[in-house]
Structure 1
Amino acid sequence: MAYSDQDSTPEVTVDAALDPGGLIRESYRIDGLSMSEARSIFLDWAIKLAPELQPQIAIRRLLALYAPYGGPSHPMTVVLQEGLGELAEAPHRRGGSRARRP
């Protein structure tokens, strides 16, 4: 894993609360980033995200900032989209006796 010599990700001023430590920004600069590494970075980012921020909004903003530079197939873009999809899913309906309890 190495940083790309030809860095196509510009220096973007991002609120430190949105990308604590620049984890997501740096992930787009890593040459040959694997899916497992991207997931690990995403988990670190999620743990460090300020509790007052809504993860869905933060992920959308990060995608808008960085996805154009990495492209749709970049591992971090894929992981962010997966995270957004899982957060957007509606809770599943409970069946059985729990559904009938007031």
Structure 2
Amino acid sequence: MELKLADPKGLVRESYRIEGITLGECRSIFVDWALSLAPGVVVADALRALLAEYAAGAPGHPMNAVLEEGLRAPPPAGRRGGRAGRMRGAES
């Protein structure tokens, strides 16, 4: 996957440049990163691309653990909010 698609705003790239960044700060950046992905981008593919690009050059960096956690987490369920979600509930 192209790095520009995997990290469109460069948030993960910048996290690796912040000296002394904490695990909590990396998790916060991860949420912002996830929200910045374009529709249709497969999160697992993006995470693998980011790990391949940055992890080897920064062993022990807390973002490595966050990205690896993201790979182990189950994919999110489909969106169920809004009018369509309410309408489905009314049909039951």
Could you tell me the TM-score, scaled by structure 1's length? Answer: 0.68
Structure 2 stretches lacking a partner, 5+ long: 76-92
Displacement of 1:17 after TM fit? 2.1
Residue type matched to 1:27 in 2? Answer: S
**Counterpart selection for 1:44 from 7, 12, 32:** 32
Between 15-24 and 34-43, report the one with greater CA deviation. Answer: 15-24
Q: Deviations over 1:46-100 (max 9, x none)?
A: 00011111000110110000001111x2110000000111137xxxxxxxxxxxx
**TM-score of the two chains, using structure 2 as the length reference:** 0.75
More helix, by proportion: 2
List gaps (5 residues or longer) in structure 1: 1-13, 89-102
Identity in percent? 50
> For the pair shown, which has the larger CA radius of gyration, 1 or 2?
1
Relative contact order, CA 8 A, sep 6+: which one is greater?
A: 2
Tell me the C-alpha RMSD between the 2 structures. 1.4
Which residue in 2 is equivalent to 1:82?
69
